[in-house]
A and B are shown apart, each in its own frame.
Chain A
Amino acid sequence: NAGVTQTPKFQVLKTGQSMTLQCAQDMNHEYMSWYRQDPGMGLRLIHYSVGAGITDQGEVPNGYNVSRSTTEDFPLRLLSAAPSQTSVYFCASSQDGGNTIYFGEGSWLTVV
């Protein structure tokens, strides 16, 4: 069982470039979410989804776009990368009413 798979693991972007962080889960979980982790700030919710076709904003959504066309996939798009988006990004999926959350291994993004 692969769990939650994120790609790429590492990425360097130039300011203004766009890219997509991929996230896939094979557990048939209804809920999926994206968090960013910055030193001393814990993890903060960017966007989340409660099912295919349904997404909503979290605490820090600006500069990011998401879509959920299938249950398995929940990509995160950076529209025009900025240095402030340098961070570690975690995708998560959950069952049990969203109360048992499984995290991916993380994607390290550097914007120069």
Chain B
Amino acid sequence: AQSVTQLDSQVPVFEEAPVELRCNYSSSVSVYLFWYVQYPNQGLQLLLKYLSGSTLVKGINGFEAEFNKSQTSFHLRKPSVHISDTAEYFCAVSVPAGGTSYGKLTFGQGTILTVHP
């Protein structure tokens, strides 16, 4: 079975500073990797995903993530954060069968990013 560990439960940062949210995963087979954002009292929105190809993935809102197979990591980064980035961020994996995930994800515990003025 696969598992996901988000190494920080809370990350405080000042506006315009860079941020990295860390995600490690465990799986005996190849996985697809995802980052989602959840604003208060809302559903989850996909930030970016890695299925194959280039290990540097660019997403929405200026976020990017790098897949590191040897370290089984998929850390999320943004060079300059805004107040509006305050939210909870979830890393997730799926185990595809023939390229299909069937909408089945295993999530990490979440990281609350708080951007201070």
Q: Specify whether A and B are partners.
A: yes
Chain B contact residue count (CB 8 A cutoff): 29
Interface of A is mostly: strand
Residues of the B chain whose Cβ atoms lie less than 8 Å from the Cβ of A4: 43
The 8 A CB mask of B49-93 against A (1 = contact, 0 = none) is 101000000000000000000000000000000000000001010
Best-buried of A33, A48, A90, A97 by chain B (most CB within 10 Å)? A97
Q: How many residues of A contact B (CB 8 A)?
A: 28
Select one of A41, A93, A97, A103 contacting B101, CB under 8 A. A97
Give me the 4 closest cross-chain CB pairs, A-B, nearest first: A42-B107, A103-B43, A31-B103, A97-B100
Having A41-B109, A48-B104, A97-B101, one finds 19 other A-B pairs with CB under 8 Å, namely A33-B103, A35-B105, A35-B107, A42-B108, A42-B109, A43-B90, A43-B92, A44-B107, A45-B106, A94-B102, A94-B103, A97-B100, A97-B102, A98-B103, A98-B104, A99-B101, A100-B49, A101-B46, A103-B44
